[in-house]
A = this chain, B = another copy of it.
Amino acid sequence: MTPPTTPDAVLRQCEALLDADSEGVQASIAERILGGYRGLDDAGRRAVLIGLGRPLDPVPAAVVAAASAWDHAQTPERLQALLRATKPPRRELLRRLHLAHGATRALVDLRRDLLVALGDEPDLQRVDLDLRFLLRSWFTREFLELRRIDWTTPAFVLERIATNEAVHEVSDWLDLRARVRPSDRRCYGFFHPAMPDEPLIFVMVALTDTLPTTIASVLETHRDALPEQDATMAVFYSISNCQPGLRGVSLGNFLIKQVAATIAADLPQVTTFCTLSPITGLAGWTDEPAEDPAVQAAAYLVRARRDDGQPLDPVARFHLGNGAILDRILPDADPSPRGMQRAFGTMCSYRYDLDHVADNHHVYATDRTIVTGPAVDALLRGAAGR
């Protein structure tokens, strides 16, 4: 059967899907819908997304009635009725769409479209609410598989790594080889069994015996590699999401911790786990570099806050939210045009002390306390002194 070719036709199939009683039938309608959606242009897709919005909301009268019944007596039957009345039909629709072959991949892609559309159509938040809910249940930690990526990895996976490396662009295969093949480099990614060929997110790690002072020294393609057994430090210098449709489905948090645990088990002499991170928002916060860029960067990272108390800097929010501490400021670590433009060449390092991440996270989560290392403390005292 050919897939529907207009937004209206796709939406009519969605109604049919909600009416179908057999899982076999549901699966074949779901394949038509996803095929039809894929065939539409941007405007057509947006029309479908809007059609999944308000018309598939829970019915207010039914919600009120079920709530009232639950208020009168808390029986399992009334709970079931309440959940049924409040569950958006859209959620059931999405669940049935997942019966199609390849639906996990298709729904991740649909969410990518949705996130784009959300900019113009905030009303689509209702669709995202349900879709994100389902994606979270499917991309749960227990189903993620950590795989090392190296020079024995199939070429097509490496090609995706090269394409998706967002932090420090990969220029060609020699460059890629320099990041995954030497004895003092590691790359790990999360994969999902329903999308086995697609890395979801990956992290690049340099094994060193001292904190690198520039990113260029890490990315250098012609280096003498450090023998594995001489490494004492694992520096996470890049983490990239490959699936825009999974934004907000937390993966990076677990990835860093699981990779750290894996490296610690393989190489017991590696005891320091830290990052080499950009300070992406510094130049947006101040107009010009201060006399002492390290002091300025420390002040920005620790004191520039959003209304909710979290730091302005998005990379800081990610690592501090994971329980890392702000350990070092590294002036002149990235003198590339991009590095100069966003932070006057300054980078920083967050440290993951596996024994304290839970505590660090807790104080950050409860009152937004940012734990800092002694070197940063000294800089902050300097800043305070001015």
What is A's interface to B at a CB cutoff of 8 Å? 21-25, 27-28, 54, 57-58, 60-61, 63-64, 66-68, 70-71, 74, 76-77, 79-80, 82-83, 86, 88, 95, 98-99, 101-104, 122-123, 125-126, 129, 134, 137-138, 140-143, 145, 151-156, 158-159, 172-173, 177, 181, 193-194, 250, 253-254, 257, 322-323, 357-358, 361-362, 365-366
Asked if B22 and A129 sit within 8 Å, CB to CB, the answer is no
A87: nearest residue on chain B (CB-CB)?
A: B83
Asked if A82 and B86 sit within 8 Å, CB to CB, the answer is yes
Q: Per a CB cutoff under 8 Å, which of B24, B77, B103 touches A361?
A: B24
Residues of B contacting A141 with CB < 8 Å?
A: 23, 27, 98-99
Known: A134-B137, A145-B193, A154-B154. A366 touches B71 (CB 8 A): no
A146 smallest CB distance to B (angstroms): 12
Residues of B contacting A257 with CB < 8 Å?
A: 24
A105 smallest CB distance to B (angstroms): 9
A73: nearest residue on chain B (CB-CB)?
A: B60
Asked if B82 and A58 sit within 8 Å, CB to CB, the answer is yes
Asked if A57 and B79 sit within 8 Å, CB to CB, the answer is yes
A133: nearest residue on chain B (CB-CB)?
A: B83
CA distance A88 to B358 in the complex (A): 27
Q: Per a CB cutoff under 8 Å, which of B54, B77, B79, B154 touches A151?
A: B154
A22 smallest CB distance to B (angstroms): 4
Report whether over half of chain A's contact residues are helix, strand or loop; otherwise say mixed. helix
A193 smallest CB distance to B (angstroms): 4
Residues of B contacting A177 with CB < 8 Å?
A: 155, 159
A66, A126, A357 — most chain B CB neighbours (10 Å): A126
Q: Per a CB cutoff under 8 Å, which of B22, B68, B126, B322 touches A79?
A: B126
CA distance A36 to B323 in the complex (A): 27
A86 smallest CB distance to B (angstroms): 5
CA distance A61 to B57 in the complex (A): 22
Residues of B contacting A58 with CB < 8 Å?
A: 70, 79, 82
CA distance A77 to B129 in the complex (A): 10
Q: Per a CB cutoff under 8 Å, which of B22, B74, B151 touches A60?
A: B74
Asked if B254 and A21 sit within 8 Å, CB to CB, the answer is no
Q: Per a CB cutoff under 8 Å, which of B54, B63, B77 touches A82?
A: B63
Known: A63-B67, A95-B137, A126-B79. A156 touches B145 (CB 8 A): no
CA distance A70 to B35 in the complex (A): 34
Asked if B76 and A365 sit within 8 Å, CB to CB, the answer is no
Asked if A54 and B71 sit within 8 Å, CB to CB, the answer is no
Known: A71-B61, A76-B123. A140 touches B98 (CB 8 A): yes
Sample (13) of A-B pairs whose CB atoms are under 8 Å apart = A21-B361, A22-B323, A24-B253, A57-B74, A63-B82, A76-B123, A76-B129, A79-B129, A80-B129, A137-B138, A151-B155, A155-B173, A155-B177
Q: Per a CB cutoff under 8 Å, which of B23, B63, B79, B158 touches A70?
A: B63
Asked if A23 and B137 sit within 8 Å, CB to CB, the answer is no
Asked if A142 and B60 sit within 8 Å, CB to CB, the answer is no
Q: Per a CB cutoff under 8 Å, which of B76, B138, B142, B366 touches A103?
A: B142
Known: A58-B70, A71-B63. A365 touches B154 (CB 8 A): no
Asked if B25 and A361 sit within 8 Å, CB to CB, the answer is yes
CA distance A57 to B78 in the complex (A): 11
Asked if B138 and A83 sit within 8 Å, CB to CB, the answer is no
Asked if A362 and B25 sit within 8 Å, CB to CB, the answer is yes
Residues of B contacting A101 with CB < 8 Å?
A: 142
Residues of B contacting A66 with CB < 8 Å?
A: 67
A7 smallest CB distance to B (angstroms): 21
